[in-house]
A and B are shown apart, each in its own frame.
Chain A
Amino acid sequence: ETGVTQTPRHLVMGMTNKKSLKCEQHLGHNAMYWYKQSAKKPLELMFVYSLEERVENNSVPSRFSPECPNSSHLFLHLHTLQPEDSALYLCASSQSRGLAGGREQYFGPGTRLTVT
């Protein structure tokens, strides 16, 4: 596997379910990001982890819970979601220190989430 991978690629869940999205990066980066892309809205940054520490949390509802156990893996735990949470969830990674690479972000293919 190369680059940034995400599983599952598609997920349908009810409002009372609990599920998790997984992201793995094979680029040797140490910062990882979660984004939400809704129809007809710009990408919204949700969370950022740098060196396994959460450094950005953009007022995301608590029904979304991120976890970063190491610099290669990032999870987004979902529970009691609402239909308006249906979207494409994208993971990205970058370097986090210095100017090398200028924190260029590389994205995974995304998970298409549908909440019923």
Chain B
Amino acid sequence: KQEVTQIPAALSVPEGENLVLNCSFTDSAIYNLQWFRQDPGKGLTSLLLIQSSQREQTSGRLNASLDKSSGRSTLYIAASQPGDSATYLCAVIVGGFKTIFGAGTRLFVKA
């Protein structure tokens, strides 16, 4: 059974710091992995999608990597800003459309 774990559960950093969020999964047979952000009480915003054949994706200050063999993905946020404060979720798709989410990392960036 696929399980997705995100560490840390919560993180507080000063503005300008570079940070790394971690996502691990127990079964390497994934179709793709997607990172989202969620603001309180809102829906999810897609940040980056990494297909199983890819190693990383970049968008602006965000870089996501994928190591299927070790069952890990990281989301790197450069030069963090208060507007980055949100919950960050990772999700794996395991064949077909079955999607399994981690519990998320709550990030607070202090001005």
Residues on A facing B (Cβ under 8 Å): 4, 6, 31, 33, 41-45, 48, 50, 55-56, 58, 88, 90, 92, 94, 96, 99, 101-110, 112
Given known A42-B4, A43-B89, A102-B49, contact A107–B102 (CB-CB < 8 A): no
List the 3 closest pairs (A to B, CB-CB), nearest first.
A107-B44, A43-B101, A48-B97
Q: Name the residue on B nearest A50 (C-beta).
A: B97
Instruction: Tell me if B60 is interfacial: C-beta within 8 Å of chain A.
Output: no
Q: Name the residue on A nearest B50 (C-beta).
A: A102
Q: B45 — which chain A residues lie within 8 A by C-beta?
A: 107
- The distance in angstroms between the C-alpha atoms of A42 and B87, with both chains bound, is 12
Given known A99-B51, A102-B49, A104-B34, contact A90–B100 (CB-CB < 8 A): no
Instruction: Tell me if B31 is interfacial: C-beta within 8 Å of chain A.
Output: yes
- The distance in angstroms between the C-alpha atoms of A31 and B101, with both chains bound, is 18
15 intermolecular pairs with C-beta atoms under 8 Å apart:
A33-B97, A42-B100, A45-B99, A55-B97, A90-B43, A99-B51, A101-B49, A102-B31, A102-B49, A102-B51, A105-B34, A105-B46, A106-B46, A107-B45, A107-B46
Q: Name the residue on A nearest B48 (C-beta).
A: A104
Size range of the interface on B?
Answer: 20 to 34
Q: A102 — which chain B residues lie within 8 A by C-beta?
A: 31-32, 49, 51
- The distance in angstroms between the C-alpha atoms of A31 and B100, with both chains bound, is 17
Residues of chain B in range 19-59 having any CB-CB distance to chain A below 8 Å: 31-32, 34, 36, 41-46, 49, 51
* Cβ contact within 8 Å between B103 and A42: yes
Instruction: Tell me if B96 is interfacial: C-beta within 8 Å of chain A.
Output: yes
Residues of chain B in range 89-111 having any CB-CB distance to chain A below 8 Å: 89, 91, 93, 96-104
Q: Name the residue on A nearest B53 (C-beta).
A: A99
Residues of chain B in range 38-84 having any CB-CB distance to chain A below 8 Å: 41-46, 49, 51
Q: Given A55-B96, A103-B97, 13 more contacts at CB 8 Å?
A: A4-B43, A43-B89, A43-B101, A48-B97, A56-B98, A96-B97, A101-B49, A104-B49, A105-B46, A105-B99, A107-B44, A108-B43, A112-B41
